[in-house]
Amino acid sequence: PESVSVTGRDDKRLAPLDRLMTDFVSRHKLPGASLAVVRHGRLVYARGFGLADCESGEVVKPTSLFRIASLSKPVTSVAVLKLVEAGRLKLDDSVAEILKLKPEVDAKRNRRVTVRQCLQHTGGWDRGDSFDPMFQSIRIARVLGTKAPAGPAEVIRFMQKWPLDFDPGTRYSYSNYGYCLLGRVIEKVSGQSYEQYVRKQVLKPMGVTRMRVGRTRADGRARGEVRYHVDGAKVGLSVFDEDLGQKVSRAYGAWNLEAMDSHGGWIASAVDMVRFASALESPDHKPFLKAGLLEEMFAPPAGPVSRKSDGSVEDVYYGLGFSVRRLADGGMNQWHSGSLDGTSTLLVRRHDGMVWAVLFNSRRSCGGKNPASAIDPLVHGAVDAVTEWPEGDAFDELLVK
């Protein structure tokens, strides 16, 4: 196999993780990836693999920023829960009431949709039955007579003209639009922009300083951000007014990343993501969220959602911003994955205090799956193959060395 460049601190005890990543990147001919691992609240591993940019030959570093796609959802969920904790919002508040929405159709059901239902993807939108408005920015701008691409405000205005696909709270259906609404709820209640609020109230207290909402176009690439590679000649049509309808790379203009802020817009390093996920219950007993809210985050939705035929809760369900698997011994694993053209991401919080994030700058098929899905069981295996763990560092120490 081709040799894959590796950056970050080398530790022979963690060879199973190095082997997994170099083999995976090389075997599937992926440009680059980054993996960070936390054990009991200490960062034990952070390395970059392969290329951040195939054209320039720039390599991925442990601190390289990637579009994290739907790993943005747990971030939004924690931001919402911070407002709940502060008493400024209730999970069962009506989203339409908070945002003063005026549904033109299906008003009764639309007004019933709650903050909790948006967090759990039970709000009533099913992109399989209708469509995902977050990827319809030209159509929406046309209907409303506004400039392309449509932003969150236009998307929400447009959706007031559409009926729900099902009764709120009766079933699960993954909805980016529900999380777009949550971003606006955060803005309305906090009086700040979504990004400002999250950076100030969630990320900064966790020690995460470089995360930000990414930019769609290549010229908006942040310092330290990788380049996104789409296979071969995969082109899309631009949704941006200045070159509307012209051919562009699917990762740089075929959809509007800025409008996806609260459901898929952030860029972060793998280290930022494990820092975020492990701060939720830090080992020094200063949990980021009050205990009750953390339990709420990982609790199953109310029935009939995620129930077996006998009425008991399914082993796997979606909580507030995380997928949850309940284990026989009472423990649980929580995770989220993300996917956009040129991006595939995974964040895992395991029952035994292990947390990891793996980010790719390509969504190239790996045996019929996207990279994050294909590598998921392999990371569990590689983590289990480590027989001796280093003590681990405060986050910043490992990165500077």
At residue 26, what are phi and psi to the nearest 5 degrees?
A: -70, -45
DSSP conformational letter for 103: -
Residue 126 in this model has a pLDDT that exceeds 90: yes
Q: How many CA atoms lie within 13 A of 92 on its CB side?
A: 4
Cα 50 from Cα 3, distance rounded (Å)? 9
Q: How many CA atoms lie within 13 A of 369 on its CB side?
A: 11
Nearest 5°: CA angle at 275, between 271 and 280?
A: 155
**16-34: average pLDDT:** 98
pLDDT tens digits along 202-226: 999 999 999 999 999 999 999 999 9
SS3 96: helix
Cα 191 from Cα 197, distance rounded (Å)? 9
pTM score above 0.95: yes
pLDDT tens digits along 242-278: 999 999 999 999 999 999 999 999 999 999 999 999 9
Cα 231 from Cα 229, distance rounded (Å)? 6
- Chain-centroid distance, C-alpha 341: 14
pLDDT score recorded for residue 400: 38
